[in-house]
Amino acid sequence: MTDAEDLAARTARRAQIAPGTAAGVDEAMIARQVHTFYARVREHPRLGPVFAAHVEDWDTHLAKLCDFWSSVVLMTGRFKGSPMAAHAGAADIQSSDFAVWLELWRQVAREVCPPAAADLFIAKAEMIGESLRQGLEMLRAAGSQRARRTLSFPG
């Protein structure tokens, strides 16, 4: 088997077992969910300004987010990024923003996807969102402990 055949066989195997395949998700549905969601995010009174402060090029951001969701639900492995580092680098993201983000994500999923696909997008976002939120809180708590130690014991 050539490398290309091997890759094609592995890709096909992953597509068979990917959770999105059973739920009827395809790339067009991912694009619809991601593009509709971020159009609403940009208009949102709380989330909009946070994204406006960090995202310079929306076309690049949307392509990256489509790759992310393709990797999560279709196991394509297309996403190359670090969500934890990206969120940790945005100091204006608050823990309470995650519930707002997720509520909007659920609304859009119910609107633009069939029920099984919406259930999957929602379940995955809830899991990933919770681990990002907890990770951020831990990082920030560790950071402020370090800052307090530095302040209490200068030099």
Contact residues: ligand HEM, CB under 6 A: 47, 50-51, 54-55, 64-65, 68, 81-83, 86-87, 89-90, 93, 97-98, 101-102, 125, 128-129, 132
- Residue 78: strand, helix, or coil: coil
Shorter beta-carbon distance to ligand HEM: residue 6 or 103: 103
- Beta carbon of residue 26, minimum distance to ligand HEM (angstroms, whole number): 20
Q: Which residue is nearest to ligand HEM (CB)?
A: 81
Shorter beta-carbon distance to ligand HEM: residue 90 or 139: 90
Shorter beta-carbon distance to ligand HEM: residue 14 or 64: 64
Nearest to 36 by CA among 46, 28, 25, 45: 28
Shorter beta-carbon distance to ligand HEM: residue 9 or 141: 141
Q: How far apart are CA 10 and CA 82, in angstroms?
A: 24
Q: How far apart are CA 98 and CA 114, in angstroms?
A: 24
- Beta carbon of residue 67, minimum distance to ligand HEM (angstroms, whole number): 9
CA dihedral 117, 122, 123, 129 (to 10 degrees): 140
Which long-range CB contacts under 8 A does 141-147 form with residues at least 24 apart?
Answer: none
- Beta carbon of residue 84, minimum distance to ligand HEM (angstroms, whole number): 9
Q: 29 with 113: CB under 8 angstroms? A: yes
| Six token digits for residue 93 | 């993201």
- Beta carbon of residue 97, minimum distance to ligand HEM (angstroms, whole number): 4
